[in-house]
Amino acid sequence: MGKVAFVFPGQASQYPGMGKELAEKYALAKSVFDEADKALGFSISKLCFEGTEDELKLTANTQPAILTCSVAAARVLAEKGLEPDFVAGHSLGEYSALVCGGALKFADAVRLVRKRGTYMQDAVPQGVGAMAAIMGLSHAVVADVCKRAANGEVCTPANLNSPEQTVISGHASAIKRAVELASQAGAKRAVILQVSAPFHSALMTPMQEKFEQDLRGAEFSNLRVPLATNVDADTITTGAEAREALIRQVSMPVRWEESVRLLIDEGVNTFVEVGPGRVLTGLLRQIERSAGALNVEDEKSLTVTAEKIGAARSDAA
C-alpha cells in the first residue's frame, strides 16, 4: 500500500457526547481525558461527554475538547500498532497532529489551545468580525471578491479548503458584502458561519502577539514523522519550525487543499481523519476522489479503520 496520513479536525467538528465511547472502551483513551482534566483544572471530559451544543461551541471550550478527543483516538490507534507516515491538522487540528507526531506534550498542548481559544474569543468584540463559507467558486475568484468587498476593512480568504470551498474572514460588514458579491459571481452557496471570531485574518494580529509569548514558552521537540503545515503547505520535521508555523497560523490562511495535494505527491493514498466528525473526509472527496478516506471517532469507525489498514499493510508485505 501507499503511505498513510493522519489528519486532525479543527473547530466546527465538535458534537455532544464525542469521545465518550472510546473513553468507556479503552483505558488509554480514558487516561487522555483524565490528563486533560488535570492539566486544565476543570472537567473537559464532562464537557465532551455531557456538555450541550452551546457550551461546546464556545471557542475556549471547543479547542481543548476537540484536541482531547483527537489525541485519545490517536493513542488507541497507536496501541493497535497503527502509526502514520505523515500528519496534518486543520487549524486547531495542527496541535493534535503535533502531539501525535511527538513534537508537543499533550498536557502542554491542551493548555495552549485553551489559551488560544480564550484569546481568539476575546480578540474582537462580538458582532465586529465574521466568517463565511463560499462554495463553487475558485480560490482566485474568491480572493477577487474579497478585494472588492473590503472597502478599507479586513476581508480575506481564511481557509483554502478544497476546489469547491473557500472560507473568508474579516469585518462583519465586509464579509456581508463579500457574500452578496460571491452570489452575484455565481457561487453555489455563500453563507455566514456561526463562529465567535474572524479567525485566520489580520484582525487576529493583536491576539497573535499575545499568544506568541505562550508558544515561545512551550517546549517543542522534533517530530517523529513529517507534518504538513497549514501556513506554508510544506512538510517540516523540527520543533522550531513547528512553533514558528503555529505563531504565523493565527492570522494567516489555512492552505488545506495544497497540504492534501502535497501529501498525495509524497505518496500518501490513505487519509485517516482522527477525531470528531467527518469534515476533512468530505473535503478530501472534493480534492481527490481516488484517495482512500477513513475516520476514527468511536468504536465502530476505529474497528473498520484498523481492519482496513491492517489488511492493506499485510497485503503489501
> Which residues are marked as active site?
91, 200
Helix (H, G, I), strand (E, B) or coil at 285: helix
Integer Cα distance of 222 and 225 in angstroms: 9
The amino acid present at 189, given as its one-letter code, is: R
Which strand (E) or helix (H) includes residue 23? helix 20-25
Q: 137 is written with which cell numbers?
A: 467558486
Residues 6+ apart with CB under 8 A from 49: 17, 18, 19, 20, 23
Cα 104 from chain centre: 16
Structural contact between residues 133 and 41, judged by C-beta atoms closer than 8 angstroms:
no
Q: 2 is written with which cell numbers?
A: 501507499
Q: Give the other-Cβ count within 10 Å of 150's Cβ.
A: 16
Residue 160's nearest CA partner among 247, 226, 90, 70 is: 90
How buried is 34 (Cβ within 10 angstroms: 0-12 exposed, 13-18 middle, 19+ buried)?
Answer: middle
Integer Cα distance of 80 and 252 in angstroms: 36
Residue 95's nearest CA partner among 128, 126, 62, 123 is: 62
Q: Give the other-Cβ count within 10 Å of 12's Cβ.
A: 19
Instruction: Specify the residue for cell string 490528563.
Output: 35
Q: 166 is written with which cell numbers?
A: 473557500
Q: 240 is written with which cell numbers?
A: 522550531
- Residue 88 phi/psi, 5° resolution? -160, 155
